[in-house]
Homo-oligomer: A and B are copies of this chain.
Amino acid sequence: MDKKYWSGRIQNLVPYTPGEQPRDRVFIKLNTNENPYPPSPRVLEAIRQATDSRLRLYPDPEATDLRRAIGERYGLAPEQVFCGNGSDEVLGLCFYAFFTPGRKVIFPDITYSFYPVYTELFHLDYEEIPLNEDFTLPVERFLGENGGVVVCNPNAPTGRTLPLEDIRRILEANRDAVVLVDEAYADFGARSAIPLLPEFPNLVVVRTMSKSHSLAGMRLGYALGSPDLTAAIGCVKNSFNSYPIDRLALAAGEAAIQDVPYFEETRRKVMDARAWTTQALRAQGFRVHDSDANFVFAAHPALSGETLQQGLRERGILVRRFDRPRIREYLRITIGTQQEMEALAASCEDILKG
């Protein structure tokens, strides 16, 4: 690669690596935390209704209807909602909107691996705070002077949840900096920080429709916060791309957030399959942390993570592994249907038998 024409800013940038999206072979895909159930039938119908000549027109750059629908769902005003192209884009915009070079942003050493990429991209100073041995968060390390805090809750890839009381302590100790709580997986069992919004003008909650609303393919994420904070995100967004959400995604998102019964039914099924999977893997000798997300984080004392991942792949099952200190022996296994999880357990048993 000849980088002669690359900006000095990106000469050493190492991008985020998304999980594999196989194009040729059919796998049981437990590697990217997608929902095993299809989007709500109301979502598909809303897309069909919007698929017509109006696609020649720009979408609403302010996502007015979607913001209102999301606000209604959580009892917030539309001005407290910002919508973007997936929570990755929303997080990226937040990192630029709220953090300033020279003031250190802090987040755990084991967490969503996109956070350090944003900081490198935008040349922000940051510190990765080591999680405790059991992957819980050393809360006291997040109470000192800093330029911003990012907490994924429940955390990825561990699935562990930080109690709301600890989020509150972090918010109280950081009144001069923004605390970003990434709740990509919160719908699967964690207590949301949304009820803390009225108390804390420094809180931003980021969420996605990719997981609990089965819409990874449509790219919808949002941030919740005070109007002063959502305006900052909007200021960056409108200086970069006025219309990141297309007309069909806007229609899909509105229908998805409104179909609460379908949401409840599918997330319940995922949570039930997670309980089953946790038990089944523990019975095989796996160390499996309690998870509040749509994945479990599991390691086996008898086999390396690499061997397990490769063995599953040979048996037609994809799981994700991060080749990084402290967690390279772990598999992050997305919760699929009950049937898929039974196939996973059977394959694990098969591999363990040698």
Which residues of A line the B interface, CB within 8 A?
A: 1-10, 13, 15-19, 21, 23, 29, 32, 34-39, 43-44, 47-48, 51-61, 64, 85-86, 88-89, 92, 96-101, 117-118, 120-121, 177-178, 201-202, 210, 214-219, 228-229, 231-232, 234-249, 252
Contacts of A88 in B (CB 8 A): 240-243
Tell whether, in the assembled complex, residue B231 and residue A219 are in contact, meaning their CB atoms are under 8 Å apart. no
Task: Indicate which residue in B21, B39, B201, B219 contacts A244 across the interface (CB closer than 8 Å).
Answer: B219
Query: From DSSP, what is the main secondary structure of chain A's interface residues?
Result: loop
User: How many copies of the chain does the oligomer comprise?
Assistant: 2
Knowing A210-B58, A217-B54, A242-B16 touch, does A5 contact B202 (C-beta < 8 A)?
yes
> Which chain B residue has the least Cβ–Cβ distance from A247?
B217
Q: How far is the CA of A36 from the CA of B13 in the complex (A)?
A: 42
Q: Which residues of B contact A10 (CB under 8 A)?
A: 96-97, 232, 235-236, 239
Q: Is the CB of A240 within 8 A of B121?
A: yes
CA distance A262 to B231 in the complex (A): 41
A248 CA to B252 CA, complexed, in Å: 11
Give every chain B residue within 8 A of A235 (Cβ-Cβ).
Answer: 6, 10, 13, 15
List of B residues within 8 angstroms of A29 by Cβ: 57
Q: Is the CB of B239 within 8 A of A56?
A: no
CA distance A21 to B62 in the complex (A): 10
Contact yes or no, A58 B32, CB < 8 A = yes
Given the complex of chains A and B, what is the CA–CA distance between A177 and B229 in angstroms? 37
| 29 A/B residue pairs, CB under 8 Å, sorted by A | A5-B177, A5-B178, A5-B201, A5-B228, A6-B98, A7-B100, A10-B97, A10-B239, A15-B234, A15-B237, A15-B239, A21-B60, A23-B64, A34-B56, A36-B56, A47-B248, A48-B48, A51-B51, A54-B217, A57-B216, A85-B85, A86-B241, A88-B243, A218-B246, A219-B243, A219-B244, A219-B245, A248-B248, A248-B249
- 3 tightest Cβ-Cβ pairs between the two chains A and B: A38-B53, A15-B238, A217-B247
A348: min CB distance to chain B, Å: 24
Among residues of B, the one whose C-beta sits closest to the C-beta of A210 is B58
The docked-state distance in angstroms from the alpha carbon of A55 to that of B170 is 37
A31 to B: closest C-beta gap in Å: 10
